[in-house]
Chains A and B, each alone.
Chain A
Amino acid sequence: MIKVENVKKAFGPVTVLDGVNLVVNPGEVVSILGSSGSGKSTLIRCINGLEKLNAGRITVDDFDVSKPKDLAEARKRSGTVFQLFNLYPHMTALQNITLAPVEVLKRPRAEAEAEGRALLASVGLGDRADAYSSQLSGGQRQRVGICRALAMKPRYLLLDEVTSALDPEMTAEVLDILAKLAAGGTTMVFVTHEIEFARQISSRIVFLEKGKLLVDLPTAEFFAETGGLAQPRVAQFLSKMRKD
């Protein structure tokens, strides 16, 4: 379980997260919606320990990310996929995937490579194992990024606007894979602007506004007139996003 308790985070004078509470249970897909600057990405970055909290507590399976001793365990349990892929440019797709399993989990190289190849095949990149990041399209890079996170066998997958840098066709490539993962029971925290897709795969939807968690409802209720849409800010956001 990922537990976010009363988390506050400020960058200088700007408060980005203002008392956020959130629980993600194993098996859930929780989508985080909100306009740019609402704190969505910062929340993900707090969960994987890239940002220090100003107040509050985040635990991943009871490991406190603010405690250096616990952070390594917490990070083993969560995998992050980034908006701009962040692949290691000097390594092939397969090397990107096997580096952490071999170095951190101490898996034998041959095993890690076999698993890496299987992962690549499962996202339709079986023949690109030896390609470098610069030789892959954006959609392919992001699929490698997903494989790299999955190779650590995380219990939770943290997805930070993973399709924002992709064109619609490549976005579809990546979303297809996420849909499969969701159907397979992978627990995900999904920061996104893809509202329709979030509606299809999410068990719950959370709406952030100016660092505050405005709505946290099961998907069907979120889109119901009496549920999330009853919040004027949510209704406004959804109508605007759908128009675009």
Chain B
Amino acid sequence: MLPGAGRPGGSPPPFDPLDSPVRSVTVKPVSLNGARVRLDLTILIPHLGFLAEGALLTAEVCALALVGSVLLGMLVAIARTSSNKWIGRLAFAYVDLFRNVPFIVQLFFFYYGLPEIGIYIDAFTTGVVALSISGGAYASDAIRAGILAIDNGILEAAEVSGLSKRVTFTRIVLPIALRTSVRPLGSVLINMILTSSILSTITLNELTGQAKIVASDTFRPFEVYVVLLVVYAALTYLVSIGISLLHRRLNRDLVEQVS
């Protein structure tokens, strides 16, 4: 029975921090299904360097794939809003294909499939390219939505003032589109960081790969994966903070109005 259940009157008891169940987990071992579980992070100290190497590799792959997927997403978004029918169709085909195939299948195709036809790419490059291609498909969606949301009158103002298509895109379309699409784009990028854990399946020992090794060396998967939870959450939280700052910057006219 839950604590507090069956109390007369039915109203929840006032919150008492000393009575908080969270506190008891950190202080003494808890009993789950009769087994005693103890969280002892000190056993990981000898493996910290090894795990940090993995974290660094994850950060490297993700940073490169982030740039790759945003650039690809922009190009594909331009192609999908292009007036040229064939360019548009090609871009749609790309997005449809890579959104409808599991990432691990794409990855295996690049890493284990392509060598069959004589194309060999190392695991690191494969990881960056696969994440960029898959992330680019989603990123293009976010950017395209931002482009389509732009008031046509603004584009007409740019057109009649004689601005070239290139200048109109870089100085007007893209900055305005990013004002709205930077948040969904952030979700795409965070998802990409999470997906990068799958790269351990193609021998790329990034954070998850290294963690698997440590877990099997120490027989302490609980501690290892608790650390992994925290590190991934921290990594993606950093990206969310970055996205929020960028969002503020891009919408600075509205932010200043509010403050």
- Bound Cα distance from A79 to B179, whole angstroms: 28
- Bound Cα distance from A82 to B158, whole angstroms: 12
- Bound Cα distance from A90 to B160, whole angstroms: 19
B16 within 8 A of A: no
Contacting residue for B160 out of A75, A89, A99, A134, CB 8 A: A75
- Bound Cα distance from A87 to B154, whole angstroms: 6
Residues from chain B with a CB closer than 8 A to the CB of A78 are: 160
Contacting residue for B253 out of A99, A132, A149, CB 8 A: A132
- Number of residues in A with C-beta < 8 Å to the partner? 27
A94-115 near B? 1/0 per residue, CB < 8 Å: 0000011001100000000000
Residues from chain B with a CB closer than 8 A to the CB of A87 are: 154, 157
A72 within 8 A of B: yes
B127 to chain A, nearest CB (A): 35
B236 to chain A, nearest CB (A): 27
Residues from chain A with a CB closer than 8 A to the CB of B252 are: 132
Contacting residue for A100 out of B153, B163, B256, CB 8 A: B163
**When the two chains form their complex, are residues B171 and A89 in contact, meaning their CB atoms are under 8 A apart?**
no
From known contacts A90-B253, A103-B167, infer whether A80 and B157 are also in contact, taking CB-CB under 8 Å: yes
Q: Which B residues between 140 and 191 are near A, CB-CB below 8 angstroms?
A: 151, 153-154, 156-164, 167, 171-172, 175-176, 179
B216 within 8 A of A: no
Residue of A nearest to B172 (CB): A88
**When the two chains form their complex, are residues B156 and A50 in contact, meaning their CB atoms are under 8 A apart?**
yes
Main secondary structure of the interface of B (DSSP, over half): helix
Residues from chain A with a CB closer than 8 A to the CB of B156 are: 50, 82, 86
Residues from chain B with a CB closer than 8 A to the CB of A49 are: 160
A129 within 8 A of B: no
From known contacts A100-B162, A148-B161, infer whether A82 and B253 are also in contact, taking CB-CB under 8 Å: no
From known contacts A133-B253, A134-B257, A135-B257, infer whether A89 and B176 are also in contact, taking CB-CB under 8 Å: yes
A212 within 8 A of B: no
From known contacts A90-B176, A99-B171, infer whether A50 and B159 are also in contact, taking CB-CB under 8 Å: yes
B1 within 8 A of A: no
Residues from chain B with a CB closer than 8 A to the CB of A132 are: 252-253, 256-257
**When the two chains form their complex, are residues A86 and B162 in contact, meaning their CB atoms are under 8 A apart?**
no
A179 within 8 A of B: no
B172 to chain A, nearest CB (A): 6
Residues from chain B with a CB closer than 8 A to the CB of A82 are: 153, 156-157
**When the two chains form their complex, are residues A90 and B250 in contact, meaning their CB atoms are under 8 A apart?**
yes
- Bound Cα distance from A100 to B172, whole angstroms: 12
Chain A residues at the B interface, C-beta cutoff of 8 Å: 48-50, 72, 75-76, 78-80, 82, 84, 86-90, 99-100, 103-104, 132-135, 148-149, 152
